[in-house]
Structure 1
Amino acid sequence: MSQRKKTSASQSKPQRTNENEDEMTFSQMTSSQVQRARENFASVQIDRKVAEVVQFILVKDQKKIPVRRADIVKHVMKEYKVIYLEVMNRVRRTFEQVFGLKLEEIDTKNHIYILINKLEAGGTVSMCPGNPGKTGLLFVILSIIFMKGGVAKENLVWNTLKKLRVDPREKHDEFCDVKKLVTDEFVRQKYLEYVRIPHTEPVEFEFRWGLRADIELSKLKLLEFVAELHDQDPQSWTQQFREASASESRT
């Protein structure tokens, strides 16, 4: 009886995730160990696995959802995770040579990837493909944040959008639930960060640029756009022009 209870208790314990084990696999395997592991798979098997990873990422990218390494391993790589790095190198080459896309690791700590259109990088065309309205809305919000030094309070963003007849409290003909689009979809896609401001009562939030926006959008082009609206020279905004020029030189 006691033995049965022990067995039942052990089975009821929550299973540990494999992410820590995966991290050890990726960080501790030597090149010779990887090579030996590779010999367990035929070339055609590796080719098929590369194709599966490419397809998995493309499906996620249709909704601009960033892809986690843990999800690639769990849903696609599985027993092939011992040769993960080799497969991902080939996946990167496939995206660049076949699709003209770049697989970018935007979060090296949590290993999160996005796809970037190499032909449109630095512009705004690829931000919300098929929906120029969303691209325009996102562009306006990112402009507000940038011109405010990288952080903009939620109320400022909403009030600015209201002036453009986009009220987050009302259903919009094109965007439907504006607040959900901005604070959920754009945040999930890593275009924006929506952060609670500490020690505020009632609770307040602020917006910042997300990792994807930093990679896909040219701050210099954005500043030039804002300058055109105000009929001024981009260098009129000294701090923003300095930041935009610095980010441009790093790309």
Structure 2
Amino acid sequence: MTQRKRLSATQSSSQSRRQTGSLLAQEEDDDSTFTQPSSTQVQRGLEKLTPAQVDQKTAEVVQYFLVKDQKKIPIRRADLVKHVVKEYRNIYPEIMKRAVRIFDQVFGLKLVEIDTKNHMYILVNKLETVEGASPINSPTNPKMGLLFVILSVIFMKGGVVRENLIWNTLKKLRVDPAEKHEEFGDVKRVVTDEFVRQRYLEYVRIPHTEPPEHEFRWGQRADMEVSKAKILEFMGQLHEQDPQSWSQQYREAHSTPSSTQASTSSQR
């Protein structure tokens, strides 16, 4: 009897894993089945719809972005098409063009495609980008303050640091990743999971290390939102030094943005 139960449990577990794998594969395939409509297809699609219908769908897309962006996790095109655009996918480019205009003119936000391969988007505050006054550059909530410290360490150390350096730095600030913090809770989870999913940080396994070691780098969202010049200014005040005394960091902070940086996309 016990043996039959074990066999049944094993079969059930195996079936569950197969179903989970199937669902994940289906999610990955959702976007691959979506083909960008041509301008002719878009025009034909618009002719079959009323202006009110297009406006309503655009409003739904805008609302979806605003709600999802509260968690600062990038939004996948596949999810957007599947859950919001739905039967309007043949006019997807027009909807996105209108959404981009609304974000720009109404909310002062810029829609940015940070991953052109997997088509993932984030919203960036245009005023923050221009003035360098983002919540991270002038953090007002504790989590953003924690993130600001980590990004500062990575930047000042040349763009990549081993995780031990981050943990030791936080310990000096009385934030121990091995202990539950009254403000952040599980600090290690916040840093290695939450900030990583939000694309503020990259947390990468260092090859051929045993036990496994990891290193941190700036994530795509940090590159878009965080002013390196502000970080350098902050470090100068902290150490009572002229920011130009860190010559390498100063050059990087005041160089023109990389041409490979993600750009606004209204067509994808």
For the superposition of Structure 1 and Structure 2, which TM-score range results when normalised by the shorter chain? 0.7 to 0.9
Instruction: Report the CA distance between 1:102 and its aligned residue.
Output: 1.3
Q: Which residue of 1 aligns with 2:128?
A: 120
Cα deviation 1:124-145 (Å, max 9, x = unaligned): 6434999611111100000011
Q: TM-score, normalised by structure 2?
A: 0.82
2:255 to 243, 246, 249: 246
Match among 31, 35, 48 for residue 43 of structure 2: 35
- The equivalent of 2:78 in structure 1 is 70
CA contact (8 A) 1:106 1:113 kept: yes
In the TM superposition, residue 21 of structure 1 has moved relative to its aligned partner by 1.8
Aligned equivalent of 1:108, options 116, 141, 155: 116
Task: Give yes or no for contact 2:139–2:145 (8 Å, CA) kept in 1.
Answer: no
Q: Which runs of 5+ in 1 are unaligned?
A: 1-11
Which residue is 2:223 aligned to?
214
- Alignment-mate amino acid for residue 215 of structure 2: E
Q: 1:225 to 1:97 in 2, by over 3 A?
A: same
| TM-score for the superposition, normalised by structure 1 | 0.87
- How many residues of Structure 1 are paired with residues of Structure 2 in the alignment? 235
CA distance in 1, matches of 2:135, 2:146: 14
Corresponding residue for 1:18? Answer: 30
Is 1:53 aligned to residue 53 of structure 2?
no
The structure whose RCO (Cα within 8 Å, separation 6+) is larger is: 2
In the alignment, the residues of structure 1 paired with residue 165 and residue 133 of structure 2 have an alpha-carbon distance, to the nearest angstrom, of: 23
Per-residue displacement from partner, 1:182-222 (whole Å, max 9, x unpaired)?
A: 11111111100111111111100010001110010111111
Identity %: 65
Q: 2:98 is matched with which residue?
A: 90
SS at match of 2:215: strand
Runs of 4+ with >2 A deviation: 14-18, 121-131, 247-251
Moved more, 239-248 or 78-87: 239-248
Q: 1:146 to 1:111 in 2, by over 3 A?
A: same
Q: Deviations over 1:74-130 (max 9, x none)?
A: 100111111111100100111111111111111111111111112222646434999
CA RMSD of aligned residues (A): 2.2
